[in-house]
Chain A
């Protein structure tokens, strides 16, 4: 059974093309292979966790799916569309917040910019209301008028999550959303994502090193290593493998890191 069959057989298939279809995807940067022959299909409504050690190619896989990295081989479709068209239905929370820290950006402007597709000179009251509503969902109403450079790691995650949610996406793509968040924040965000996925039937794709998040939320898991998919399937199947448990969940799982002493924290 290949990755395709496996995902389809267990998925909650709904009408229309699958949320993600990746076929034979390879990607190299300056001659260095980052992704090699990745193939999988994800149905709508699934909660996919992508796991694996650092340097496995997880972030580049997400970027290639979203059309932010150009494949050297293979194809990607999002909701049956090219990534640059399909990503309009996606809310994205990047891993490293690479935004320019000196840029004069308030949270409300970051969210309004996503709605308008351009940086606002002034935020309209309609955009402000939508931003406030999105922040309310993530418990961050108080952040509305704060400057990004003044926010803590957890507050930034909430702000970017609100930005991802504001345009009513059909899919959320999150790259290590728990990184830099304290344990209370991890619990809150996990519960929030789980709730959103179930209530709104959102498709969620998330890179995580958190075993508890995978156990709690995931309906599908991909384990990556060396730029390729080493294993895929239901959490129960994959989490049974001690090697996967050992290599994929030693990084940012706060709870696990504290108890095992192997983590980065």
Chain B
């Protein structure tokens, strides 16, 4: 086993995947605690699918105005362009969700559910228009399912940088978002700008989803927001303790999932999500045992 771990660590692409993957998973977990507390867990799925739409729109613009390229969108050195170009567009979609949610006074996940299919449909439409224009085909598989093992050094720099910035914001300014999630009126009375906090939460989620595309892809990325935070919420602890638990849970899941994926030779995104799922249910069992113990 030690030899096997040594073999993994000798591979540059695995080191990049383990480092970038863990950092982005920690950033997701921190925002996930806020998202779960705010009762909008679906935001991860909504903004992940809007990433597909945003990448489709960028691909069409690329075909119309640029020297159209064919690539794995989200995969490989060149394909990553579609993710980074779609990131600001996805942040705008996040702001739009928050705006519709606030001005339309929509409950819970309704605004997210409205944007989810609209953006996904926009992506399908843009890719069809791109194909009709005669531009080289774009393989969306890497965007849909992730391609963390194909992360280049430049990708790692961008991903790690983005993840660290988002994690720092979650630990500092994000505490105002947490206060607004606890009680918006009380937070406002303590000087929190509640509307700004809501926009910031959606914008940050849109950004972290974009940074996570390489790790888990459109289909699986919401698990990075939901599962570690869900596991943390099983315990009675302070908000700070939940952030710490979710972060550790996410980092361990990514590392274990990546190593298992390499070992068994299966897709890494799926293995990471299944590892998180297994750890979540293990946490539930431990939680139940602790509760039973305490009641005796």
Contacts and interface: CB of A to CB of B under 8 A. Distances in A.
Given A103-B37, A113-B190, A114-B190, A120 B240 contact: yes
Interface centre among B39, B181, B182, B233 (most CB of A within 10 A): B182
Interface string B166-185: 00000101011011011101
B183 to A, nearest CB: 4
B182 A121 contact: no
Contacts of A4: none
A122 B181 CA distance: 18
A116 B190 CA distance: 8
Given A68-B185, A94-B183, A110-B186, 5 more contacts: A68-B189, A92-B186, A105-B182, A120-B175, A122-B240
Interface in A64-97: 66-68, 87-88, 90, 92, 94
A100 B34 CA distance: 12
B243 to A, nearest CB: 7
A129 B39 CA distance: 33
Interface of A: 63, 66-68, 87-88, 90, 92, 94, 98-100, 102-106, 109-110, 113-114, 116-122, 147, 163
Contact of A87 (B176, B181, B182, B189): B189
B233 A98 contact: no
Interface residues of B, number: 28
A74 B169 CA distance: 39
Contact of B191 (A88, A98, A99, A106): A88
Interface in B29-56: 37, 39
B186 A114 contact: yes
Given A117-B176, A117-B192, A100 B243 contact: no
B237 interface: yes
20 contacts: A63-B185, A68-B185, A87-B189, A90-B189, A92-B185, A98-B183, A98-B185, A102-B37, A103-B239, A104-B237, A110-B182, A113-B182, A113-B186, A114-B189, A116-B190, A118-B178, A119-B179, A120-B239, A121-B238, A121-B239
A113 B189 CA distance: 11
A118 B233 contact: no
A119 B182 contact: yes
B238 A100 contact: no
A104 B242 contact: yes
B266 interface: no
A170 B241 CA distance: 35
B236 interface: yes
Interface centre among A87, A116, A121 (most CB of B within 10 A): A121
A113 B173 CA distance: 13
B294 to A, nearest CB: 14
A119 B239 contact: yes
B37 A100 contact: yes
A102 B233 contact: yes
A-B pairs, 7 with minimum CB distance = A121-B240, A118-B175, A119-B178, A99-B183, A117-B191, A119-B179, A119-B175
Contacts of B239: 103-105, 109, 119-121
